Every structure is written in structure tokens, then in C-alpha cells.
Amino acid sequence: MYGALWRVLPGPWWVKTIILVILAAAVAYALVFWVFPWINSLIPTSDVTVEGG
């Protein structure tokens, strides 16, 4: 998969590297600010088994 992605991207290796870093940052941003909060709203947090002590 990574090899195919590398071959599809245009430009020399340094341009491909910059594009991949930007894509990875965009995916991480989407996960942290949209996906994980949405999943967190689906998980019941009232069923905690650890007691404070």
C-alpha cells in the first residue's frame, strides 16, 4: 500500500515526503478532533469499576 501511494504521488522524493507528512497530520487532526470525540460519546462512562482511594 505504501509503495503504491509513493508511486502515485507527483514530484521528487522530497515533495512526496512533504505531501505524506501533511496527509498524516490531516488524518491525525481528523481523528483527534472529530472521530475520537464522536466515539467517546457512544461509550458509557458511568460504568466505572475503579474506585477513588
Q: How many Cβ atoms from other residues are within 10 Å of residue 9's Cβ? A: 14
Q: Is 16 exposed, middle or buried (0-12, 13-18, 19+ CB in 10 A)?
A: middle
Q: What is the predicted pLDDT for the residue at 48? A: 66
pLDDT tens digit at each of 53 positions of the chain: 788 888 999 999 999 999 999 999 999 999 999 999 999 888 877 766 777 66
Q: What is the predicted pLDDT for the residue at 47? A: 65
- Whether the pTM exceeds 0.85: the reply is no
Domain ranges of the chain: 2-40
Q: Please give the single-letter amino acid code of residue 11.
A: G
Q: What is the predicted pLDDT for the residue at 5? A: 86
DSSP string computed for the chain: -HHHHHHHS-SSHHHHHHHHHHHHHHHHHHIIIIIHHHHHHHS--S---PPP-
